[in-house]
Amino acid sequence: MFIQIENGMVSSSYSSIQPDEIVGYLKKNLQFKEVCQAIFTQKIIDQTAREREIFVSPEEIQAEADLIRRDLRLERATDTLAWLAEQQITVEDWEAGIRDRLLTQKLKETLFGQQVEGFFAQNRLNFERVILYQVLVPYEHVAREVFYQTEEREISFYEAAHLYDMDSKRRYQCGYEGAVYRWNLKPEIAAAAFGATPGEVVRPIQTDQGFHLLLVEEFIPAQLTPEIREEILSTLFSEWLSGELNHWLNQ
């Protein structure tokens, strides 16, 4: 593939691809609708931002570009241009993408920043976490046998997970699931886990996946961390954007 950089512009033999070829490829691979919706979504963001007089300055774009260059270890301008060449985009394309992302974040904050704390308070239980270990087996008699073995301390829960769990990754981790949010668990599993006594093995629970044995190590109270705040902000924004997109497409 021939690639050349001239005056900060990137050119390559990709330029010989015609727009109708790109559209045809997207349609054949069932990606056309997804791309069109992404374009409409950006149009909605741009229009709403203009109506609310929200803009991104060149200085903000430059600052974000510098952060990206630092993360990618692009210390020299020539390094950046070479990276852009690999991506098959121009400097202007890159800055336009940065502008779109910054504008989206500003709009999210403007529309829903004041609603995050209220949403968190109303849904506080969903943001509680539990440090969970699990053994999942396909048959009830196996689950009961494992449960009784751990009860009688013939085998530890972690050894049981390593030996019997259906999932190879969880076997390797001796049943460790991590710090899990309530809403990430099936309702019956969540009820058992959050009602358990730390350190005690929960009796087998049946779901469509099989039979579960649970061990809770610790409960983590809900806290509005920066990560949770961003997650809530993104949820509220996505719901709003979905409604706006449906309205836009049905006009």
Q: Are residues 52 and 138 in the same domain?
A: no
Q: Which residues 6+ apart lie within 8 Å of 149 measured at CB?
A: 155, 160
The pLDDT, as a whole number, for residue 8 is: 42
Give percent of the chain above pLDDT 70.
94
pLDDT lower than 70: segments of the chain: 1-15
Same domain, 48 and 108: yes
User: Residues 133, 113: one domain?
Assistant: no
What are 201's strand-pairing partners? 215
- Compute the Cα dihedral for 81, 87, 90, 93 and give only its sign: negative
- Does 19 lie in the same domain as 104? yes
Instruction: Give start and end residues of each alpha helix (H) in the chain.
Output: 19-28, 32-51, 58-71, 77-87, 91-112, 116-122, 140-151, 157-164, 168-172, 187-194, 226-249
Q: pTM here?
A: 0.73
pLDDT at 5: 42
pLDDT tens-digit series, residues 70-95: 999 998 999 999 999 999 899 999 99
Tokens 């530890």 locate to 156
Instruction: Tell whether 33 and 98 lie within a shared domain.
Output: yes
Domain that holds residue 46: 3-117+233-249
Domain count, the chain: 2
182 plus 237 within the same structural domain: no
pLDDT at residue 12 in the model:
52
Same domain, 105 and 58: yes
Look at residue 15 and tell me if it is in a domain: yes
Predicted confidence at residue 13, as pLDDT, reads 56
Please state, in angstroms and as integers, the Cα–Cα distance from residue 135 to each residue in 107, 142, 219, following that order.
Answer: 44, 11, 19
Residue 227 lies in a domain: no
Residue 210 lies in a domain: yes
Same domain, 138 and 93: no
CATH code of the domain containing 184: 3.10.50.40
Q: What is the pLDDT of residues 92-108, one digit of tens each?
A: 999 999 999 999 999 99
Based on C-alpha coordinates, what's the Rg of the chain? Answer: 26
